[in-house]
Each structure stands twice: as structure tokens, then as C-alpha cells.
Amino acid sequence: MSKGKTSESESTTVKVSKDTQAKLASLGKYGETMDQIIQRLTIQAKGLEDVVAGKSSICFIDGHEGKLLYRGYDIADLAAHSTYEETTFLLWNGHLPTANELRVFSEELTSKRPNPADLISILTSLPRNCDTMDALRVGVAALGIFDDPMYNQQEKAMSIAAKIGTVVAAIHRHKHDLELISPRDDLSYASNLLYMVTGEEPSKDDTRLMDVLLILHADHEFNASTFTARIIASTLSDMYSAVTGAVGALKGPLHGGANEKVVEMTNEIGTPAKVDAYIKAKLANKAKINGFGHRVYRTMDPRAKILKEMANEFVRTEKEKQALEILERTETILREEKNLYPNVDLFSGLALNHIGIPSYLFTPVFAVGRAPGWLAHVLEQYSDNRIIRPLAEYIGPPLTLYVPIEARTSAGVAR
């Protein structure tokens, strides 16, 4: 008898616990019966919508309330008080560090920033006009070859998180035929990242904004790139392969590339007076508006809320003020017309541009921010592993007889 089936009869009735029933009910859509929920979750879940694909203690999202927690800490508190280093420690260790733990952790992270010379040679041999995410994918994959082979898993995670920022800055400098800038030990992760990109030591405000952007992007449960990393780790492949795969998944415009498109849209609209006509025409053509909608959030993405509040503080130039006005008007239209809310990408481009990150570097910088989350999930996967191997619902032809080639018609069917 298989687990959970009744013993009294031949019936296939399956008993589920009250917990499971409650969990299933919470995944229901308005008016759905339990059977419909189960049917949708097991068979109809295109894109694995609402499917719980594993357990994790790293990140919690409440899509209805618009809450995001890392290891139990509210993203709003972390954005207000934490740093890249502290949040990375939290994600990897499950608790906030003591002052001494943070000092030791930050020193080790800082010491791992410089890239191996062979890796720099590869990065500077790439075509200057190549896609920056393609270059990042090459960089992370190559790091797996040139990094110290004696590193343990924790050291590898440190090395990847530390060096991925240096790789992104090198990609940018090489693109413009500028001299590569070596990392500085006396700067925080956020400050050093901006320094290596722009060549100038950033202001306190810009460093703070960079820190917040990195924190907000650090993890997001089983998003596409993180799930990719976990699948790769579940085969017991190495950490560099897992992060390389994650970079590939992040490159897609439905995942990491939306904020660049938001900036393009803002420039295309030009002035606040033109927003209504532009957005309504797009919606009439059933086009998607970047920076809106989310698989999990049914309200405003809490990260967008934080960035919007910050944007109201940091915008200075006329161009920035206009851009913010355009985005806010777009937000109102999308809410009224489609009941859609902003996601993190609506305001992040404005913030990144403000601190000197060019649009083509948005997704690579997202990868720098997300790397601690990818690595936390890879470490969690290794710690309690079972290969991730789901099933497909087969919708192809039934068993078909093999037809020798001489008996086939052009359509491939024997007559």
C-alpha cells in the first residue's frame, strides 16, 4: 500500500493532513474548489506558478502583504540600517554578525577582491562591444578555472562574491578602453564597486544608495536564476558552474533586464505630459510595460516602495525629476487600468544612473547584488541535497511505429 492511501477499500482516496489542506487552500485563487487548486498546481501550473519546489530558510516573501524577509529580517530594516557585507553574512550564516564577526568576515571578503591575472587577460581579450552579461558569464566561468583549487566551499563563496564586482568593473573599463582599476582595501564593498567603475571615490550618499541597491537585490527566494543555481548545485556540480548558470538565467529580459528597458521607455516618453498617450497606446496593443507585474507580488513590491521613497530624496537634476514624474504617472495608470503594481525594476534604473552606473551595466550590477543570495542557496542545497528532477506532463504523440527511410513521404508518414 502506498503511503497515505486508505486501507479499507480499493478506493484511491488519499488522506492529506490538515496542514497540507490549509497550505493548499492558501494557494487557491478566488472561488476555486480544492480539486481545481490541486489540478492547477499539479498539471496546469505553466511556469511552475504557485508550485512549492523545495524548502529553504533563507528568504520569505508574502506576495499579498508585499513583505520580503531575509532570514527573518524585514528588507525595509536591512535597507535602512545594514550594509552589503552584513547582509551577505546574514544570508550565509542565518544570523546577524557581532562586530567582531563582521570585521573578520569583511576583511576576508576584501582580501579576495583582486582577480587572477589570467582572468583579467581573458576579460580584456573580449570584443569591446560584446554584451556585458555575456562577458560576465565568461568571467564567472573562467574564475572557476583560475581560482585557488584548494579553497573550501565557504572560501569559494567568498571568492565569487568578492571578485564578481571586480569582474563587472573590468568589463565596463575594457568596453571603453580605459585602464582597469584595482580594488582598494580601505573602501567598503559598495564604495569600492563604484570606485572601480567610475574611477572616483564615491560620496557617502552614493555609497549608501549602492549599498541599498545591493541589499535589495541580494535574494528573492526561488526566482529563476536562483532556482537555476540550485538545480546545478543539486547535481553536485561546482559552485562556479552554478553561478555561471544563474548569470545566464538573469540575462533574460523577463528577469534581470527590465530596469534597462524602463530607462529606455522613460527616455522615449520624454516628458510627463506624454505619459498617458504613450502608456495607453501600449496597453491597447497588449504590450507589457517593464517594471510592472510580478509572479509572486499581488501588491507593490516592497523593494520598489523603498527605492521610490529614496528617489524622492535623491533626484536633483531636471532630467531626474522629469523621469520620476513619468514613472509615478505610469504607476497610477497601470494601477487604474490593469491593477498592476511596480516591481523593483521600475525605480532601480533611476537610482543606478544617479550613482554613475550606465544602463548596459544594470544587469551585471544586479548579478553582483544577487551573488550572495545565489551562493547562500547553493550552500543550502549542498547541505541537504537531493537531485532536482521533476516530471513533465507528456503531450506528444502516442507510441508510433518506426518507418524505414525509404518508406517515408516528405511529411515523414508512410503511405
Ligand X SMILES: CC(C)(COP(=O)(O)OP(=O)(O)OC[C@H]1O[C@@H](n2cnc3c(N)ncnc32)[C@H](O)[C@@H]1OP(=O)(O)O)[C@@H](O)C(=O)NCCC(=O)NCCS
Which residue, 89, 367, 56, is CA-closest to 234? 56
- Closer Cβ to ligand X, 89 or 341, answer by number: 341
- Cell numbers placing 141: 566561468
Closest distance between ligand X and the C-beta of residue 206, in Å?
24
Contact (Cβ atoms closer than 8 angstroms) between residue 169 and residue 197: yes
- CA distance linking residue 380 with residue 94, whole number of Å: 11
Contacts to ligand X by CB under 6 A: 47, 254, 258, 288-295, 338, 340, 343-345
301 is catalytic: no
Query: How many Cα atoms occupy the beta-carbon half-sphere of 41 within 13 Å?
Result: 18
Closest distance between ligand X and the C-beta of residue 279, in Å?
10
Q: How would you classify the pairing of strands 73-74 and 59-62?
A: unpaired
Contact (Cβ atoms closer than 8 angstroms) between residue 289 and residue 301: no
| Helix/strand/coil percentages in the chain, nearest 5 | 60, 5, 40
Closest distance between ligand X and the C-beta of residue 21, in Å?
25
- Closer Cβ to ligand X, 145 or 254, answer by number: 254
81 is catalytic: no
Q: What's the DSSP call for residue 378?
A: H
- Closer Cβ to ligand X, 236 or 254, answer by number: 254
- Closer Cβ to ligand X, 15 or 338, answer by number: 338
- 183 burial type by CB count under 10 A (0-12 exposed, 13-18 middle, 19+ buried): buried
Q: Which of 206, 211, 301, 345 is catalytic?
A: 345
Closest distance between ligand X and the C-beta of residue 247, in Å?
17
- Closer Cβ to ligand X, 85 or 345, answer by number: 345
Closest distance between ligand X and the C-beta of residue 157, in Å?
25
Contact (Cβ atoms closer than 8 angstroms) between residue 413 and residue 403: yes
Closest distance between ligand X and the C-beta of residue 295, in Å?
4
**What are the C-alpha distances in Å from 406 to residues 399, 401, 411?**
21, 14, 13
Q: Which of 172, 174, 294, 354 is catalytic?
A: 294
Residue located via cell numbers 508585499: 66
- CA distance linking residue 242 with residue 89, whole number of Å: 20
Closest distance between ligand X and the C-beta of residue 254, in Å?
4
- Nearest to ligand X by Cβ — which residue? 293
Residue 413 neighbours by CB under 8 Å, 6+ apart: 403
- Closer Cβ to ligand X, 166 or 259, answer by number: 259
- Closer Cβ to ligand X, 169 or 250, answer by number: 250
- CA distance linking residue 107 with residue 109, whole number of Å: 5
DSSP 126-182: S-TTS-HHHHHHHHHHHHHHHS-TT--HHHHHHHHHHHHHHHHHHHHHHHTTPPP--
Give the active site residues: 294, 345
